């Protein structure tokens, strides 16, 4: 089968890479400790069952993770995010966390808080995290458990969050904006801002499954807000919309369409960060699951991944007309979720527009433009 992209240039001929190489420096990396999760959320792109034996067997050991982290620190990395799935499920979470902290890394943890115990609190008090980011799925038990599809999850979340807050662990809260909790988002925002006054964010953008499971992808699409709902939600949240308005000059760029080249990647993937998958695969970003664009660290070296594999991915080009005349020259692409990684998850190829993303970007732009005129 013919690939929908080409990679015919040698690295020495790659002029765009020469420019990026001058700016390229490793600052941060993500580690997906596991793909498993205690919840069965309809919208989630990576939540295998807690007891999935195949997933457990693939998970990196503490030694493997520590080795890769040392390589990253050696190249200048300062910050690490532990995520999943639910990272606390990894059998060696405390050991991994301590090893990272002892390297001098700023460590953040993404969790649903349902598995937090007194032992985790002791760990976080002795070795304080940069922050713990907890996702809130609903302000009521009914909505929360409609999203998680796990009886008792609301109480477990409340218990874990309470332990973190009363022990003065730095917590940040976020919410996924879904069809299932859309009507409750004002109450969720109020709850979050009372619990942590310095920070709250919501995310209305759901991307599809890492394993491309067709049935679970149907669930995700059903949970997506419409473009009109997303724009309305952002308009109704003063902090979110003020931020968008301030960034308007950067998010809408007419100059982008004048930059003529065929390269697939115009984002920062692999420039200052990378993702280490639970199964040992190195990826340029957390969303990039194309099988040809992942590097197996169990069969290679970090040096080869960072110094040779990353440039080879960023060197990819496309001559597909629909890509060149749409995404490649779109001045509002920064208002959109489109990128080669998401194109692959949605369409199975790296270089095609996604109608839902286009409609959402246009709706957001329309709202920004109308405010600018008022």
In whole angstroms, give the CA distance from residue 86 to residue 101: 19
CB 198 within 8 A of CB 171: no
List pLDDT tens digits, range 187-237.
999 999 888 876 788 899 998 999 899 999 999 999 999 999 999 888 887
How much is the pLDDT for 143?
97
**368's tokens:** 């920004």
- Residues facing residue 81 across a β-bridge: 30, 108
In whole angstroms, give the CA distance from residue 304 to residue 68: 12
> What is the length of the chain?
374
For the chain, residues with pLDDT lower than 70 are 1-23, 198, 241, 243-260, 371-374
In whole angstroms, give the CA distance from residue 37 to residue 212: 17
Q: CB-based contacts of 291: which residues, under 8 Å, 6+ apart?
A: none
How much is the pLDDT for 1?
40
CA neighbor of 95 nearest in space, from 72, 119, 74, 117: 119
Statement: 22-225 belongs to CATH 3.40.605.10:
no
Q: What share of the chain is helix, strand, coil (3-state, %, to 5)?
A: 50, 10, 40
How much is the pLDDT for 99?
98
CA neighbor of 221 nearest in space, from 86, 367, 48, 345: 345
CA dihedral 295, 298, 302, 304 (to 10 degrees): -60
Neighbours of 373 (CB within 10 A): 6
Neighbours of 53 (CB within 10 A): 8
CB 132 within 8 A of CB 111: yes
**Radius of gyration of the CA atoms of the chain, in A:** 21
CA neighbor of 161 nearest in space, from 116, 213, 202: 116
How much is the pLDDT for 245?
65
CB 96 within 8 A of CB 82: yes
CB 7 within 8 A of CB 265: no
Helices within 7-127 (DSSP H only):
15-23, 53-58, 62-74, 93-102, 118-126
How much is the pLDDT for 15?
47
């Amino acid at each position: 089968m013919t690939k929908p992209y080409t990679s015919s240039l040698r690295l020495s001929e790659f002029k765009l890479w020469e420019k990026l190489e001058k700016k390229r420096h490793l600052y941060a990396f993500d580690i997906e400790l596991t793909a498993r999760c205690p919840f069965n959320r309809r919208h989630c792109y990576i939540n295998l069952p807690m007891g999935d034996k195949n997933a457990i067997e693939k998970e990196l050991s503490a030694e493997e993770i520590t080795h890769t982290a040392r390589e990253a620190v050696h190249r200048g990395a300062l910050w690490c995010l532990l995520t999943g799935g639910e990272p606390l499920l990894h059998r060696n979470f405390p050991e991994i966390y301590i090893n990272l902290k002892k390297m001098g890394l700023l460590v953040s943890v993404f969790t649903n808080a349902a598995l937090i115990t007194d032992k985790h609190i002791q760990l976080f008090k002795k070795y304080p995290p940069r922050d713990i980011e907890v996702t809130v799925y609903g302000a009521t038990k009914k909505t929360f458990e409609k999203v998680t599809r796990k009886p008792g999850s609301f109480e477990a979340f409340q218990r874990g969050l309470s332990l973190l807050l009363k022990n003065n662990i730095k917590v940040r809260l976020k919410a996924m904006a879904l069809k299932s909790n859309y009507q409750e988002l004002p109450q969720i925002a109020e709850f979050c801002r009372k619990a942590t006054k310095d920070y709250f964010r919501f995310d209305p953008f759901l991307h599809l499954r890492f394993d491309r499971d067709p049935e679970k992808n149907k669930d995700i699409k059903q949970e997506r807000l419409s473009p009109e709902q997303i724009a309305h939600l952002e308009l109704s949240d003063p902090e979110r919309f003020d931020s968008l308005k301030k960034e308007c000059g950067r998010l809408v760029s007419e100059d982008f369409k004048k930059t003529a080249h065929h390269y697939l990647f115009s984002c920062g993937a692999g420039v200052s960060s990378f993702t280490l998958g639970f199964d040992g695969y190195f990826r340029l970003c957390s969303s990039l699951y194309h099988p040809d664009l992942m590097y197996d660290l169990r069969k290679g070296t970090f040096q080869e991944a960072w110094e040779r594999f990353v440039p080879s991915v960023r060197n990819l080009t496309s001559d597909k007309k629909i890509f060149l005349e749409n995404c490649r020259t779109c001045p509002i692409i920064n208002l959109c979720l489109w990128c080669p990684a998401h194109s692959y998850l949605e369409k199975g190829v790296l270089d095609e527009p996604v109608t839902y993303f286009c409609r959402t970007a246009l709706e957001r732009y329309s709202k920004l433009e109308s405010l600018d005129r008022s």
